Amino acid sequence: MTTKKLINAKGRIKPGVLSEPVDDINYLDYDLRTVMDRPRSMLARRWRFNQFQFVSATGPGWVFGMALVDLKLLGSGFFYLFDFASGQLHERSFISPLGLGTRIEPYPEHGTASFNKGGVSMRILPFAGGRALSVTAPGGIRIELTLRQDNDPLRLVCPAGYNGWVFTRKSAGLPVEGEIRWGHSIWRCGGTARGAIDWSCGFMRRETAWNWASLAGQLQDGRSIGLNLANGVNETGMTENALWLDGQCHKLGAVRFRFDRYDVGADWHVTTEDGRVDLHFAPAAARKEKLNAGILASNFRQYVGTYSGTVRDESGAKIAIQGLRGLVEDHFARW
């Protein structure tokens, strides 16, 4: 069986939505150059390449999120759980200089990802049709979640800045099994839990800013629904915007976010230019992080909350969204 690589024999990408899986992100084969067209060294290609993975799960009354990030100069990982009944946000975050203990294999379909520091272990393990996530950490934290039926992801590669590119593989609305133990508390998935997967990498713009929205849940008629919407990244003539209904991916048009960055409790209004998404998001909690280390910087706000509004399917029929939980994000990064 032939392994499909992202970079072709000329050291270039072919931008667009990809209909087939990519087995190998062979980034060292990319013809990376300076803005004055001077070829970059193998070492520069290795150190300029960034990777991250984010997995979320929405259960009965709670939302969980976990990220693994490899920026070469810095590795990091975080996970959190927000409980709507108590209003409590449980979270842990970790940073590792030079990415020590951070490993993300550049294989979107079968590569593993892990972060280890002290007594903390975070892992994402792929299998045919899904991902298994595990976390162990001090304080009685034990998390085991399995996301299934990941059979129709959105795969996209597009230019980034003058001489870079970003590859992303997204899925949302996936059935989730397992449980989260945090101290003496336990949150179980039940039959309605749904999740999302974000696998991204590339030679990204030196300074990047984006807004993002994600929803994963079950409709009143029993269908699974998932949404991934973003602007500011992955939109050079193509977008990563998509709707999943019962596991089937449908592309959406460009998205617009209306919100007040400095009023953290204010409503967000999220719409797409094709008229298929018209949603309001009410924040309930926020995970914030600011890092200013000169070469690297991040101003990160990820909100947990509740969606209401409408989404239209491929036939134009309206789908009512009422009380479904999800995420939005406002992020500046320098890497």
d(CA 174, CA 216): 7
- Please identify which residue in the block is written with the tokens 């990820």: 302
Closest-CA residue to 63 (of 88, 28, 27): 88
Asked whether the predicted pLDDT for residue 1 surpasses 70, the reply is no
Residue pLDDT, tens place only, 206-256: 999 999 999 999 999 999 999 999 999 888 888 999 999 999 999 999 999
d(CA 331, CA 112): 26
d(CA 310, CA 323): 12
Helix (H/G/I), strand (E/B), else coil: 326: strand
Tokens representing residue 118 in the block: 């002290």
Residue 295 pLDDT: 86
Query: E strands, 164-206, where?
Result: 164-182, 185-188, 194-203
Kindly report the number of other CB atoms within 10 A of residue 6's CB atom. 24
Residue 142: partners with Cβ closer than 8 Å, 6 or more residues away: 135, 136, 181
Residue pLDDT, tens place only, 132-186: 999 999 999 999 999 999 999 999 999 999 999 999 999 999 999 999 999 999 9
Q: The pTM is what?
A: 0.96
Residue 315: partners with Cβ closer than 8 Å, 6 or more residues away: none
Residue pLDDT, tens place only, 6-64: 999 999 999 999 999 999 999 999 999 999 999 999 999 999 999 999 999 999 999 99
Average pLDDT over residues 257-268: 96
Residue pLDDT, tens place only, 98-135: 999 999 999 999 999 999 999 999 999 999 999 999 99
